[in-house]
C-alpha cells in the first residue's frame, strides 16, 4: 500500500503530466491544422482559392469607397506591425533584465526571434502572391502566406500575456486575456479588409503562431521542472513567483500631493503660458518692424538658404527628423518603461507625459492663434499644415530632453547623468539649426520654443515635483584623507516618509 507521503509527492508530477499532455495535444492540433492548410495553399487547392478571392473581392467593394474606414483599418493593423511588436518586446526585455528576471527575458527573446524567422522563411517556401483586387487601398511587400501580422501579433501579445499574467487577478486577468484576443483578431481582420492578405493567410498565421507559442511555453515549463521549480497551471503565467518584481511601481497614496489643487494649478498655468506665448508671438510676428528682432528674422533665413548644398540638405533632413512626432514619440515610449523599471515610481512618468502633452497642446493652440507665415525663402519640407510660431519640432525636442535631464539629474549621482544635460543642449540646437536652414522657421520661432519649454517645465516642476521621492543610487565621495566610509545622502522628510511607508 502506497503511503500518504508518497501519494503527496507523486501528485505534482501527475498534475504536470496531465497538463503537459493537454498542452501537447493543443500544440499538435494547431501544428497539424497549419500543415494541412499549408499543403492546400502550396498545391493551389481550387475551392480554397475560390473562397479566398471571393472574400477579398467582396471586402474590397465594401471598404474601398470609404476613406475614413480605410484610415481606421490602417491604424488598427499597425498594432500587429513590426515597429510596435519590436518596441513592446524590447521594452519588456530591458525591464525584465533590470528587475533581475533573465529567464523571462530570454523567453521573450527566443519566442520573438523564432516568429521573425518563421514568417519570411515560410513565405519564401510557399511563394504565394498577394490578393489582386479591383480598387487597391493598401500595399505590402513580399509574399502572402502566412500573414506576418497575424503570426507576430498572436506570438507577441500571447508571450507578453504569459509573462505578465501573475500581476493580474480576477476580472483584470480576464480583461487582459480578452483584450489581447481582441487585438489579435482585429489585426487579422484588418489585413483581410485592406486586401493585403487572403483569409487563409491570416488563419495560417494564427495557427502557426499558436503552435510556436505553445512550443516555447512548454519548453519554459520543462526548464522550470529541470531546475526543481514547481510547474503551475498555464493560467497562472510562466513564473507566478516573479509577480512582485514585475509590478511596475508600488502602490502610492498619491502620485502628487493635493491632486485637485494640482489640476487647478496646471490648468491655470497652461492658460498663463498660452497668454505669454500669444503676446510674444504677435509681437515678433507683426509688431517688430525696424527692430533688431525683425532684422535677425529676415537676415538669418536668407543667409542659411544661400549656404545650401546637397550634403547639408541631407544632414539637415536627418537633424530635422530627430524633432518630428515619430522620433519624439519613440524616445518617450522608450524612456517611460525604462524609468518605471529603474525607479519604480509613477511620478517621473507623469512628469514626462505631461511635459509632452503640454508642449503639443500649447504649440497647436499658439500656432493657430498667431498664424505666422514661414520665412520668405524656399521651404525644403514643402507646405506644412501648421504656422511658423512657435517651432513645434524645436519645442518638442527641448521639452523632451530637458525633462529627461531634470529627472536623471535628480535620480542618480553617476557621471553619465551629465550626458543627459549635453543632450538637452545639443539636440535642440541641432534641430533648430536644421529647421532654420530648411527655411521653415525664423530665429524668433526658436526663441518662442525656448520660452514655451522654460515656462512649461518650470510649471510642472513646481506642481508635480518629480524628484520628491527620489532615491539617489550613489553615495558622496569621502573627503581627502578620510578613511571612513561615506555617509548616506539624506533625502529629506519626503524620503523618510516613503521609506517608512515601504516598511
What is the DSSP code string of 445-493? HHHHHHHHHHHHHHHHHHHH-TTTT---SSPPPPPTT--SPPPPPP-HH
Predicted local distance difference test score (pLDDT) of residue 180: 92
SS3 (DSSP) at 433? helix
pTM: 0.75
Is pLDDT above 50 for 472?
Answer: no
What does the pLDDT look like over 111-141, one tens digit per residue?
988 888 888 888 888 888 888 888 888 888 8
DSSP states along 275-312: HHHHHHHHHHHHS-TTSHHHHHHHHHHHHHHHT--HHH
Predicted local distance difference test score (pLDDT) of residue 139: 84
170 dihedral zone (left: phi>0; alpha: psi -120 to 50; beta): left
Predicted local distance difference test score (pLDDT) of residue 254: 64
What confidence tier does 242 reach under pLDDT thresholds 50, 70, 90?
A: confident
CB environment 321-334: b (16+ within 10 A), e (fewer): ebbeeebbeebbee
Is pLDDT above 70 for 179?
Answer: yes
Task: Tell me the domain boundaries of the chain.
Answer: 11-246, 259-464
Owner of C-alpha cell 500581476: 167
Cell reading at 234: 498555464
Predicted local distance difference test score (pLDDT) of residue 395: 93
Predicted local distance difference test score (pLDDT) of residue 229: 78
Predicted local distance difference test score (pLDDT) of residue 355: 94
Is pLDDT above 90 for 453?
Answer: yes
SS3 (DSSP) at 320? helix
What confidence tier does 168 reach under pLDDT thresholds 50, 70, 90?
A: confident
Asked whether the beta carbons of 69 and 63 are under 8 A apart, the reply is yes
The region of weakest confidence among 76-90, 161-175, 241-255, 296-310 is 241-255
Q: Residues of the chain with pLDDT > 90: what percent?
A: 30
What does the pLDDT look like over 396-427, one tens digit per residue?
999 999 999 999 998 888 888 899 999 999 99
Asked whether the beta carbons of 86 and 148 are under 8 A apart, the reply is no
In angstroms, the CA 104 to CA 31 distance is 24
Amino acid at each position: 500500500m502506497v503511503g500518504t507521503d508518497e501519494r503527496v509527492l507523486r501528485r505534482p508530477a501527475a498534475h504536470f503530466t496531465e497538463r503537459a499532455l493537454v498542452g501537447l495535444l493543443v500544440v499538435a492540433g494547431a501544428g497539424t491544422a497549419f500543415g494541412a492548410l499549408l499543403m492546400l495553399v502550396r498545391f493551389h487547392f481550387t475551392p480554397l482559392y475560390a473562397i479566398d478571392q471571393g472574400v477579398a473581392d467582396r471586402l474590397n467593394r465594401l471598404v474601398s469607397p470609404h476613406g475614413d474606414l480605410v484610415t481606421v483599418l490602417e491604424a488598427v493593423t499597425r498594432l500587429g506591425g513590426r515597429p510596435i511588436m519590436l518596441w513592446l518586446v524590447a521594452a519588456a526585455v530591458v525591464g525584465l533584465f533590470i528587475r533581475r528576471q533573465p529567464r523571462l527575458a530570454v523567453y521573450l527573446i527566443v519566442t520573438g526571434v523564432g516568429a521573425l524567422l518563421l514568417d519570411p522563411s515560410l513565405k519564401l517556401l510557399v511563394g504565394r502572391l498577394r490578393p489582386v483586387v479591383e480598387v487597391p487601398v493598401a500595399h505590402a511587400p513580399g509574399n502572402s502566406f502566412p500573414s506576418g501580422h497575424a503570426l507576430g501579433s498572436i506570438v507577441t501579445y500571447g508571450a507578453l500575456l504569459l509573462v505578465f499574467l501573475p500581476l493580474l487577478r480576477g476580472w483584470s486577468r480576464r480583461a487582459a486575456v480578452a483584450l489581447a484576443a481582441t487585438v489579435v483578431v482585429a489585426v487579422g481582420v484588418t489585413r483581410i479588409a485592406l486586401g493585403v492578405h487572403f483569409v487563409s493567410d491570416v488563419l495560417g498565421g494564427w495557427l502557426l503562431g499558436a503552435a510556436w507559442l505553445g512550443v516555447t511555453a512548454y519548453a519554459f515549463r520543462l526548464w522550470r521542472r529541470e531546475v526543481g521549480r514547481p510547474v503551475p497551471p498555464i493560467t497562472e503565467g510562466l513564473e507566478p513567483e516573479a509577480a512582485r518584481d514585475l509590478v511596475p511601481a508600488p502602490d502610492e497614496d498619491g502620485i502628487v500631493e493635493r491632486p485637485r489643487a494640482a489640476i487647478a494649478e496646471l490648468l491655470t498655468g497652461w492658460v498663463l503660458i498660452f497668454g505669454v506665448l500669444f503676446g510674444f508671438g504677435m509681437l515678433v510676428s507683426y509688431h517688430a518692424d525696424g527692430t533688431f528682432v525683425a532684422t535677425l528674422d529676415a537676415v538669418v533665413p536668407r543667409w542659411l538658404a544661400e549656404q545650401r548644398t546637397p550634403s547639408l540638405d541631407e544632414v539637415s533632413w536627418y537633424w530635422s527628423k530627430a524633432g518630428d512626432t515619430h522620433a519624439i514619440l519613440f524616445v518617450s515610449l522608450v524612456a517611460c518603461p525604462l524609468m518605471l523599471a529603474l525607479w519604480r515610481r509613477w511620478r517621473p512618468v507623469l512628469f514626462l507625459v505631461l511635459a509632452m502633452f503640454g508642449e503639443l497642446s500649447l504649440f497647436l493652440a499658439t500656432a493657430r492663434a498667431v498664424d505666422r507665415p514661414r520665412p520668405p525663402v524656399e521651404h525644403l519640407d514643402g507646405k506644412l499644415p501648421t504656422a511658423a510660431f512657435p517651432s513645434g519640432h524645436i519645442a518638442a525636442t527641448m521639452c523632451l530632453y530637458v525633462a529627461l535631464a531634470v529627472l536623471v539629474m535628480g535620480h542618480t549621482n553617476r557621471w553619465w547623468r551629465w550626458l543627459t544635460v549635453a543632450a538637452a543642449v545639443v539636440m535642440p540646437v541641432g534641430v533648430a539649426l536644421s529647421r532654420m536652414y530648411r527655411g521653415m522657421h525664423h530665429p524668433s520661432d526658436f526663441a518662442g520654443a525656448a520660452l514655451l519649454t522654460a515656462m512649461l517645465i518650470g510649471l510642472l516642476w513646481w506642481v508635480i515635483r518629480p524628484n520628491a521621492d527620489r532615491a539617489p543610487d550613489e553615495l558622496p565621495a569621502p573627503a581627502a584623507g578620510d578613511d571612513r566610509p561615506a555617509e548616506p545622502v539624506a533625502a529629506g522628510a519626503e524620503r523618510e516618509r516613503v521609506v517608512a511607508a515601504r516598511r
